[in-house]
Amino acid sequence: MKKNKSNIEKSHTLACERYAGHGVDVGRALDILATVPVSLHCWQGDDVGGFENFGCGLGGGLVATGNYPGKARTPDELRGDLDEAFSLIPGKHRLNLHAFYGEFGGKRVDRNEIAPEHYKNWIAWAKKSGIGLDFNPTCFSHPKAADGFTLSHRDKAIRQFWIEHCIRSREIGTAMGEALGKPCVTNIWIPDGMKDTPADRQSPRARLAESLDTIFKKPISPTLNLDAVEPKLFGIGSESYVVGSHEFYLGYAVSRQKLLTLDAGHYHPTESISDKITCALQFLPEILLHVSRGVRWDSDHVVILNDDLLAIAREIVANGFVNRVHIGLDYFDASINRVAAWTIGARNMVRALLIALLEPTAKLRGAEAAGDFTTRLALQEELKSLPFGAVWDFYCEARNVPVGEDWLSEVKRYEKDVLAKRTQ
Ligand code: RNT
Ligand code: ZN
């Protein structure tokens, strides 16, 4: 049943009074929230499949488990599914595209041959919807990545192939930024690593640094394209050694002034990326987040509203970093409706940002500065039961997206009318 509009408004008014008592201006919080885009990852829509056919399946240690029916098989289907998800998420957001989702007209275009023309439908679609695009070279699911090495490969020709792919990816990112009038973040993640203890940890890292320097040689205006590099602790098949580890890329990003990508699933299970934001931003103007949820390992579960997510959002908001932190999602769950997976994760990201924007930061910091840690803890705990849900409902209503669980019946309708008709 559709929620009652006047009840939503009444609850919101009461909530505003309650927040005003803490010195929080809800209207201002909602104005800021409307300016923060979340970049939805295209790869949730088809289990990281892409639209090429090199016949090697998902590689790079990435695993999407489940076989829920109805996954997108073509770019048009994927765009349709994304339109559906975007219509259920309040605010204006972005799409994060991987290179192997290009449209190659049935031709075998290898990764070192991709060009902006292969993404022209994506660009036209984004323009029409008024959303920005982000981009990623695809350095996996390819015969030349089959032995687990790409930019750090010992074979110069293979390294060169992936260097060319990444150079072209930056050019595509630039074309996207130009066409859409908003910079594209082009993020490099490579799977390079070893299952067992390496004899040489040094040479692949030296080669990776050299490959990256070659890729980034050509200066590109940050108004069009921003380069990001994504570290990882371990992967399936790279349990003992990952060439592009956190320390490697932190050093690389700081010394070359590139964006560092913090993926929530890429650290030890008890380590959270929220604490890394203020570290990286001491030395870098901007960073990228891959908001994900690891369950015991980098399992890329759908993002839920847990303490990790709330901590990430508060570090962005409380420190005034909304313009310096690019927020992307990165998970892939093939065991539930894929449109719902996008919607749940993205709505949670936006909801976490809202909760952070409703925090009386000045009050908390005042208590801390006065050495009154009792008040700090008491307030932190009391804030957890403030009526943010009423503000969230009001925001959804104001942005013309379903309130509460009402979005689910729309996804069920879409499943029946569209997804169920797809045969794999
Ligand atoms: C892999 C990285 C990377 C990928 C995408 C598909 O562990 O998180 O960001 O998930 O490139
Ligand atoms: Zn990631």
Domain of 47, CATH number, reads 3.20.20.150
Rounded CA gap, 342 and 362, in Å? Answer: 34
Write down the pLDDT at residue 424: 61
Average pLDDT over residues 299-324: 98
Average pLDDT over residues 51-62: 89
Q: In this structure, is residue 389 part of a structural domain?
A: no
Q: In this structure, is residue 14 part of a structural domain?
A: no
Rounded CA gap, 293 and 349, in Å? Answer: 12
- Where residue 366 falls among pLDDT bands split at 50, 70, 90? very high
Up-side HSE of residue 351: CA atoms within 13 Å toward CB?
A: 23
Question: Which one of the ligands is nearest to 263 CA?
Answer: 2
The best mutation among 288, 330, 333 to test binding of ligand 1, ranked by most ligand atoms within 8 Å of the C-beta, falls on: 330
Residue (of 420, 355, 346, 364) closest to 385 by Cα position:
355
- Phi, psi (deg, nearest 5) at residue 235: -140, 175
Q: In this structure, is residue 27 part of a structural domain?
A: no
Average pLDDT over residues 66-72: 97
**CB of 290 closer than 6 A to ligand 1?**
yes
Average pLDDT over residues 324-346: 98
Helices 156-180, 202-215: axis angle to 10 degrees equals 40
Rounded CA gap, 319 and 298, in Å? Answer: 28
**CB of 41 closer than 6 A to ligand 1?**
no
Average pLDDT over residues 136-151: 97
Q: Is 130 exposed, middle or buried (0-12, 13-18, 19+ CB in 10 A)?
A: exposed
What is the distance in A from the centroid of ligand 1 to the CA of 294?
Answer: 12
Q: In this structure, is residue 21 part of a structural domain?
A: no
Write down the pLDDT at residue 1: 55
Contact assessment for residue 127 and residue 180, using Cβ atoms and an 8 Å cutoff: yes
**Atom 10, ligand 1: residue with shortest CA distance:** 330
Q: In this structure, is residue 118 part of a structural domain?
A: yes
Q: Please count the structural domains in the chain.
A: 1
Write down the pLDDT at residue 2: 67
Q: Which residue is listed with tokens 């010394």?
A: 255
Q: In this structure, is residue 199 part of a structural domain?
A: yes
Strands 184-188 and 287-291: unpaired
Q: Which range marks the domain in which residue 315 is found?
A: 37-359
Q: In this structure, is residue 375 part of a structural domain?
A: no
Write down the pLDDT at residue 423: 82
Q: In this structure, is residue 408 part of a structural domain?
A: no
- The answer to whether residue 189 is catalytic is yes
The pLDDT mean for the chain works out to 97
Rounded CA gap, 264 and 298, in Å? Answer: 8
Contact assessment for residue 302 and residue 347, using Cβ atoms and an 8 Å cutoff: no
Quick check: 53 pLDDT over 90? no
pTM: 0.98
What is the distance in A from the centroid of ligand 2 to the CA of 229?
Answer: 10
- Where residue 56 falls among pLDDT bands split at 50, 70, 90? confident
Three-state DSSP state, 69: coil
Of 49-53, 74-78, 153-157, 377-381, least confident by mean pLDDT is 49-53
| pLDDT tens profile 164-213 | 999 999 999 999 999 999 999 999 999 999 999 999 999 999 999 999 99
Pick the more confident residue, 416 or 2. Answer: 416
**Residues shown for the chain:** 424
Strands 287-291 and 259-263: parallel
- The answer to whether residue 232 is catalytic is yes
The amino acid at residue 354 is L
Write down the pLDDT at residue 165: 98
Rounded CA gap, 150 and 162, in Å? Answer: 6
